[in-house]
Structure 1
Amino acid sequence: TVKEGEVTEIPKGEVVIASGPLTSDALAQRLGELLGEDTALHFYDAAAPLVSAESVDMNYAWMGSRYDKGTADYVNCPMNQEEYDAFWQALTTAEEAPVHGFEDGKVFEGCMPVEVMARRGHDTLLYGPLKSRGLDDPRTGRWPYAVVQLRRDNADGTVYNLVGFQTHLRFPEQRRVFSMIPALHDAEFLRYGVMHRNTFLNSPRLLDRYYRLKKEPRISFAGQMTGVEGYVESAASGFLVGVETARRLQGKPPVDFPQETAIGALGLYVSNQSVTVFQPMNINFGIMPPLDHRVKGKRNKNAELSQRSLTIIDGLREEVLS
């Protein structure tokens, strides 16, 4: 039965809380009372601006792949040193939009606003989103001093995203500063970058590997608020919580998804008390145990790690479905 409306109290009995990183104030207050003041964290998430494809001046850009990976779907917008210096100076001094309580130290590294990154040093962007290494300009045959990449944002290829340009600058400042990129001097901004606060739990202190609240196991959490980052990861946490809750209500033990599987690795990372500085985590091979033998080539190694995981999942299939 689906009941529409705001949930402001934690229900009695077995409950899964999957209210997301934008949990309403009322429920967030109840969670704070349950978890304690120092056990809930937040970070600031940012989105990059979008421009129309037809407004990009291709006289100053070229189509290419992302560092020789995939097809030539990216628009590469080069800058020489003089252009970059002026852009960096403008970016680091541009006026930011007011964000209540914003602090640079509270920014999730994976969504770092470009102006915050730029303030770390003149060359920081040159080793990050404006890295030109490996991007040969077909007009010169050389790497430019800096390159801004635009990524297709829709199937028709009419909208492009400024890669790595998450920002919380004021809208007029975004237009002024980002239009300093030569290929974007007359860009039509379809959406400006925005910033918002996300909430997630200090899960290593609070949750076990099945996303159950240690102090009150009848309560489980699922989704991004647990500190898993990404849609698939959020769904995976909800799947594990659903399987565990159903089995518990049937008097069965939990299914043991080991660290060799993505589902298990995420749950174990999120509940790992040795993680002292906890930030949202995408699934990656780094949180899974290495192979017990050497494999040449990263692609081959990752393929074997994946096959190992799939083999384990196949062995658990009957248990999960029972």
Structure 2
Amino acid sequence: PGPTVIASGPLTSSRLSDALAELTGQDHLYFFDAIAPIVTVESINFEIAFRGSRYDRGERQEGDYINCPLNRDEYYAFVDALRTAERIELKDFERELERGVRAGAHTYFEGCLPVEVLAWRGEDALAFGPLRPVGLRDPRTGRRPYAVVQLRQDDLAGRLYNMVGFQTNLKFSEQRRVFRMIPGLEHAEFVRYGQMHRNTFIYAPALLRPTLQFCSRDDLFFAGQITGVEGYAGNIATGLLAGWNAARWIKGQPLLILPRETMLGALCHYITHASPADFQPMKANFGILPPLEEGPGRGRRNKRQRMAAYAARAAQALESFLQRVDD
């Protein structure tokens, strides 16, 4: 019958969902996002934050997490702000998010709750939950903090860190305000905000190639939100790439894998190479691009200069790529 591109959205029909579950396996099809915010490592204040693992049991010598310690007053001020922050109103079909849902690989998000809902269960609920400080010592004081927010590396380059246990339904502006109250995150740059909503997406790291082909069927392509890409531009762009590759497959031409220096190439690389343990949808952002090369004469760039450098590098990489394709 020829190649097929599946590009359905968050409210994929039950018939298509059933067919996808049969094709991919039930454990590889999800129906909710349970996303924690992601910040850039360069925006973290390491005069306060420190690296380490509980009881020094991490896989890395310096520790597997970045830890933001809170004293008693800071903790309760944060909880109060969290409880009173404005939330995004849930739709009727999303109400089960309030009770916790399975929304990720295997059972990783089993029973997960929005962090603000957990805060309402008791003022110490977070201190005995995702912010528990056991097994950690603040190097500034030599003592265990009253509470700790942990951040875990989210990309291979070590430039993006997600806030562990901070799936949330707060408005984005409120996330900026409240989460910047956390010591060490006063100037945090958020490349993705937390959210919890109805969605339908496949487990792309195990199922898709960077060409957006299904791993076990060369003639089947996926694009848009079903792949785990968020945002209008990213969804449109993956649809364009899937269409190009479907046409090239028909003609017997090599399929396109865009350079990682381009935003579309970086998005496709991210969704097909993300950590299997906690894959969640991602939108286009500079944090998923390979880091810029630093060297003599370059100096330290400000944010505007970094963005311009990323854009110039992407244009150059794309031009070289297209020349090779034309050849």
* Bucket of the pairwise TM-score, normalised by the shorter protein: 0.5 to 0.7
CA distance in 2, matches of 1:133, 1:100: 28
Larger radius of gyration: 1
CA distance in 1, matches of 2:273, 2:319: 26
Amino acid at match of 2:4: V
Task: Report the secondary structure of 1:244's partner residue.
Answer: helix
Residues 269 and 30 of structure 1, relative CA distance in 2, 3 Å threshold: same
Instruction: Spell out, residue by residue over 1:34-64, the C-alpha distance to the aligned partner (whole angstroms, 9 max, x if none).
Output: 1111111121589xxxxxxxxxxxxxxxxxx
8 Å CA contact 1:205, 1:273 repeated in 2: no
- For the Cα contact (< 8 Å) 1:91–1:115, is it kept in 2? no
Contact between 2:211 and 2:256, CA under 8 Å: does it hold in 1?
A: no
For residue 32 of structure 2, give the secondary structure of its aligned residue in structure 1. Answer: strand
* Change over 3 Å in CA distance of 1:87–1:38 after alignment to 2: closer
Partner of 1:42: 31
Q: Amino acid of the residue matched to residue 253 of structure 2? A: K
Displacement of 1:87 in angstroms is: 9.2
Question: Which of 293, 301, 304 does residue 309 from structure 2 map onto?
Answer: 304
Identity of aligned residues (%): 37
How many residues of Structure 1 are paired with residues of Structure 2 in the alignment?
Answer: 216
Contact 1:207-1:213 within 8 A present in 2 as well: yes
C-alpha contact (below 8 Å) 1:255/1:319 kept by paired residues: no
Cα 1:118–1:204, aligned 2, differ >3 Å: closer, same or farther?
same
Q: CA deviation at 1:251?
A: 1.3
Consecutive unaligned residues of structure 1, counting only runs of 5 or more, are 1-11, 47-80, 135-163, 167-194
Q: Does structure 2 conserve the Cα–Cα contact (< 8 Å) formed by 1:45 and 1:198?
A: no
Q: 1:286 to 1:199 in 2, by over 3 A?
A: same
TM-superposed deviation, 1:211: 1.2
- For residue 99 of structure 1, report the CA deviation from its aligned partner: 4.2
Match of 1:104 among 92, 100, 105: 100
For 1:70-107, what per-residue CA distance to the aligned partner results, in whole angstroms no more than 9, with x for missing partners?
A: xxxxxxxxxxx99x959937989xx9967464343557
Following the alignment from structure 1 to structure 2, what is the Cα–Cα distance between the partners of residues 270 and 44? Answer: 14
- 1:285 Cα deviation from its structure 2 partner: 2.1
Counterparts of 1:41-190 in structure 2 under 5 Å? 41-44=30-33, 88=83, 99=94, 101-102=96-97, 103-104=99-100, 106=102, 115-116=116-117, 118-119=119-120, 121=126, 128-131=175-178
Matched, 1:219 2:211: no
Map of 2:202 onto structure 1: 201
For residue 209 of structure 1, what is the amino acid of its counterpart? P
Higher-RCO chain (CA-CA 8 Å, sequence separation at least 6): 2
1:7-51 superposed Cα distances (whole Å, 9 cap, x missing partner):
xxxxx43100011121100111111111111111121589xxxxx
Tell me the TM-score normalized by structure 1. 0.55
Q: Is the 8 A contact 2:211 2:257 kept in 1?
A: no
Partner Cα distance (1:265, 1:21) in 2: 22
Structure 2 stretches of 5 or more lacking a match?
Answer: 36-75, 128-146, 148-165, 182-192
8 Å CA contact retained: 2:214, 2:222: yes
Residues 224-256 of structure 1: CA deviation (Å, up to 9, x unaligned):
110001000101111111111111111111233
Alpha-carbon distance in 1 for matches of 2:224, 2:32: 16
Q: Distance in 1 between matches of 2:245 and 2:81?
A: 56
